[in-house]
Amino acid sequence: MSEMIRQQYHLEPDKGLLNDPNGLSWFQGKYYVFFQWNRFEKNHSYKEWGLFTSEDLLKWKFEGSAVIPDQEYDRDGVYSGSGYVIDNQLYLFYTGNNKKDGKRKSSQCLVVTKDGRRYQKKGIILKTPEEYTEHFRDPKVFQGKHSGYYMVVGGQQKNGKGAIALCHSDDGETWNYQGMLAVSEQYEMMECPDLFLLDGRYVLLFNPQKRDNTADEPILSFSAYKLVEFDEENGIFRDASLDDGFELMDAGFDFYAPQTFLSPDGRRILFAWMSRMDDEQEKVFSRTELNIHCMTLPRELFLQEEKLCQKPIRELYHLLGQEIAAVCEKHEWSAQPAKRTFYLCLRRTGEEQKLNILFHQGEAEIAYISEEKKLTFSRRNWVDGTVETKSAAIDEWNELEIWSDHSSMEIFVNGGQVVFSARIFPKSQKPEVTVSGSTNGMKIEMREIMNMDKREEQKS
């Protein structure tokens, strides 16, 4: 390994495996980001909730374990869930997993904390409704417009098809199942739903999953969103189908289980798990490391012409440091940053659409194919060496904003209308970026991304 894999400005624990973000909250002057965590090994054999806290979304403190599987109903895993502040206490809702003789039992459970340090388990608040199998998990809670609280839960119907359930509570502790909010005929499971108001519209996030129901194994899954009309009074969607009318949340390789919350100034902020690696990719990626996987950057959400857009939270721009020197020729721009942690922004000022960006001697590449009106992002597979490509249909590119960390890239296209998220396996000893095409019709900005210690030094 010639470069470190551990990230500089993305959230990841010191050891073990991280996956879904959970319990995202603003509570008593701090941001809380819980996450599913196996602190013992770099695999999915054990699940508890770990915790990061921050006062400003920039400087984070790793708090270690928060909610552990120590009860009969959650002995085989504290699975994903959400948080909501009720009566000056942080309520944490999660799925408790119990497996006996290979048979799964899921329960929706509650933990309450008054101070963010001591967590009191209140036990099971909702058992699996009879219409569902025990693939019933990931409760996301939000406050109703008119009364009480709602909970959406991902599930699988007894017929083997995916669904999202709706539940209601007057006080956050006593919950009742109201019915199926949305259903699928194409997918066998729905994971990690989230339902919220944004710019006057309801947005549903969900993760469709193809499963082999006979073997009880997942085959593929992805993250999607859909603008919906939610009749709160009757607890129904106008369009209850999860099979059409949705868009991908992310066009890249590594993005799953997104969850949102409201910041104290009213912004809708999202974190997601930045991984979709298979077992072999995980083994190679973490071979020299004590930990594996990280979160995406926190992102602000907004709607633009009926499309959900994502931008890095505005606080992140405080991390931008000195401009990185570049060599500019007629049709090429190149730079050799000292580190892989950099910010690169390209804005098109001319008519020509041609664009190609090569990173680190071919570890990754971005290209716009104007004839096909398609933007592609490629990376080198670190297991077999093949080139993998993802693409998105884009009529024209006007702006690309690229946030590079030691082993990841997040690319925000045209103000966040399309995003590509990916882990990148670092091999090259010399970071290098080359932009070709009509560079005389582009404005290119490249800056260092400071770590927090350096930023604090500059402030003082």
Domain spans of the chain? Answer: 16-314, 316-459
Q: Is the pLDDT of residue 394 over 80?
A: yes
Note the pLDDT tens digit of each residue in 225-242: 999 999 999 999 999 999
Superfamily of structural domain 316-459: Exo-inulinase; domain 1 (2.60.120.560)
Note the pLDDT tens digit of each residue in 274-287: 999 999 999 999 99
Note the pLDDT tens digit of each residue in 82-122: 999 999 999 999 999 999 988 999 999 999 999 999 999 99
pTM (two decimals): 0.96
pLDDT band at 453 (very low <50, low <70, confident <90, very high): low
pLDDT at res. 329:
85
Q: What is the DSSP string of 56-122?
A: SSSSEEEEEEEE---SGGGTT-EEEEEEEEETTEEEEEEEEEEEETTEEEEEEEEEEESSSS--EEE
pLDDT at res. 102:
83
pLDDT band at 443 (very low <50, low <70, confident <90, very high): very high
> Considering only CA atoms, which of 216, 163, 215, 157 is closest in space to residue 190?
163
pLDDT at res. 1:
37
Note the pLDDT tens digit of each residue in 323-359: 999 999 878 999 999 999 999 999 999 999 999 999 9
Q: Is the pLDDT of residue 455 over 80?
A: no
Distance CA 319, CA 31 (A): 18
Q: Is residue 436 within 8 Å of 35, Cβ to Cβ?
A: no
Q: Encoding tokens for residue 197?
A: 């108001």
Q: Encoding tokens for residue 122?
A: 């209140």
Average confidence score pLDDT of the chain: 95
pLDDT at res. 365:
98
Catalytic residue among 20, 76, 194, 405: 20
More confident residue, 456 or 275: 275
Q: Is 20 a catalytic residue?
A: yes
pLDDT at res. 25:
98
At 329 the three-state DSSP class reads coil
pLDDT band at 9 (very low <50, low <70, confident <90, very high): very high
Q: Is residue 202 within 8 Å of 195, Cβ to Cβ?
A: yes
pLDDT at res. 147:
83
pLDDT band at 3 (very low <50, low <70, confident <90, very high): low
Give 142's strand partners: 150
Name the burial class of residue 310, with classes exposed (0-12), middle (13-18) and buried (19+) by CB atoms within 10 angstroms of its CB. buried
Pairing mode of beta strands 291-292, 16-27: parallel
Q: Which CATH class is domain 16-314?
A: mainly beta
Distance CA 37, CA 295 (A): 12
Note the pLDDT tens digit of each residue in 364-379: 999 999 999 999 999 9
- DSSP class of 441: G
Name the burial class of residue 289, with classes exposed (0-12), middle (13-18) and buried (19+) by CB atoms within 10 angstroms of its CB. middle
pLDDT at res. 457:
47
Q: Is the pLDDT of residue 149 over 60?
A: yes
Share of the chain above pLDDT 90, in %: 93
Across the chain, which distance is largest between two alpha carbons, in Å?
68
pLDDT at res. 459:
54
Q: Helix-strand-coil percent breakdown of the chain, rounded to 5?
A: 5, 55, 40
Q: Encoding tokens for residue 11?
A: 């959230």
